[in-house]
Amino acid sequence: MRMHTVAGMFKRILTLTACVVLGVALAVAGRRVAAAWNLFPPRDLTKSSAYVREVMQLVNENYVDEKAAAYDQLAKNAIHGMVESLDPHSEFLEAKDNKEFEEDLTGEFGGIGIEVESRNGRAIIIASIANTPGARAGIQRGDVIVSIDGKPVNNAAVGNSVVSQLRGKPKTRVAVGLFRPATHANLNLTLVREVIKIESVRDVRVLADGVGYVQLTEFSEHTGEQFGRALDQLLGQGATSLVLDLRNNPGGLLDAAVEVAEPFFKKGELIVYTQGRKPGDREDLRAERDGAPLDLPVAVLINAGSASAAEVVTGALKDTGRAVVVGERSFGKGSVQSVFTLKNGEGLRLTTARYYTPNGVSIHEKGITPQVEVIMTPDEDDKLSRQNARSDLTDPVEFKDRFGFDPIEDRQLAAALDVLKGVRLLGERAAVRITAR
Q: Decide: helix, strand or coil at residue 375.
A: coil
Helices (H) and strands (E) in the chain, counts: 12, 23
Catalytic residue among 255, 319, 382, 410: 319
Active site residue 245: no
**314, 300 Cβ separation under 8 angstroms:** yes
For residue 21, the surrounding DSSP H or E stretch is: strand 21-22
Q: Where are the beta strands (DSSP E) in 129-255?
A: 144-148, 151-152, 173-180, 185-192, 194-197, 201-206, 211-216, 241-245
Active site residue 319: yes
**CA neighbor of 211 nearest in space, from 364, 387, 424, 15:** 424
Catalytic residue among 255, 333, 335, 382: 333
Catalytic residue among 308, 330, 335, 385: 308
Active site residue 308: yes
Residue 222's Cβ-count burial label (10 Å; 0-12, 13-18, 19+) is middle
**CA neighbor of 301 nearest in space, from 240, 201, 213:** 213
Q: Is 332 left (phi over 0), alpha (psi -120 to 50) or beta?
A: left
Q: Decide: helix, strand or coil at residue 125.
A: strand
Looking at the DSSP bridge assignments, the partners of residue 339 are 26, 349
Q: Decide: helix, strand or coil at residue 107.
A: coil
d(CA 378, CA 57): 52
**305, 281 Cβ separation under 8 angstroms:** no
b/e map 159-171, b = 16+ CB within 10 Å: bbbbbbbbbeeee
Cβ neighbours, 10 Å, residue 279 = 7
User: Helices 396-403 and 378-389 sit at what angle, rounded to 10 degrees?
Assistant: 120
d(CA 15, CA 307): 11
For residue 86, the surrounding DSSP H or E stretch is: none
Q: Compute the CA torsion angle 58, 62, 63, 67 (nearest 10 deg).
A: 90
Which residues are catalytic, by number?
Answer: 308, 319, 333
